[in-house]
Amino acid sequence: MATLVTHIRLNSEQISAACAELLSLMPKLADLRPEILDRLLNLPDIGRKLIRIERGAAIAGELTLVAKPSDGLDELLAALRADNHDLALVEQAIQHLCSSSSELAPEMLSESGPG
């Protein structure tokens, strides 16, 4: 009987870059209203709200998963990046992030993945 071996690889370049940028923008969070910042810091399953996992290219015997920033994290980064100091945009992004669902990307639900 033949043995099937599958190697699973995680490509985390995109999420690593997004997390590094978030860390560099953290000082801007200090200007938020305390209740908004507290809501973000006490968010249950925050990791599932910040990261989206997608299936990458399939190669025989290897499955690649790609960790990407969620839409909510992208929105928060864009709001923090804006130098107009409009904290309402940041607060709106945090509220959206807190209310978003935390699901796997639709491609992960398919056995064959994208394409």
| 51 occurs within a structural domain | yes
Instruction: Please name the residues in contact with 52: beta carbons below 8 A apart, sequence gap of 6 or more.
Output: 67, 68, 69, 70, 71, 104, 105
- Answer yes or no: are the C-beta atoms of 100 and 71 closer than 8 Å: yes
Number of domains in the chain: 1
| 111 occurs within a structural domain | no
Predicted confidence (pLDDT) per residue in 24-57, tens digit: 988 888 888 888 888 887 877 777 888 888 988 7
| 2 occurs within a structural domain | no
Predicted confidence (pLDDT) per residue in 50-103, tens digit: 888 898 877 878 888 899 998 888 988 888 888 666 678 888 888 888 777 654
| 93 occurs within a structural domain | yes
| 114 occurs within a structural domain | no
Residue at 73: amino acid letter: L
| 109 occurs within a structural domain | no
| 66 occurs within a structural domain | yes
Q: What are phi and psi of 62, to 5 degrees?
A: -140, 130
pLDDT at 21 > cutoff 60: yes
Q: Choose between 3 and 107: higher pLDDT.
A: 3
| CA–CA separation, 97 and 42 (whole Å) | 12
Residues in the chain: 115
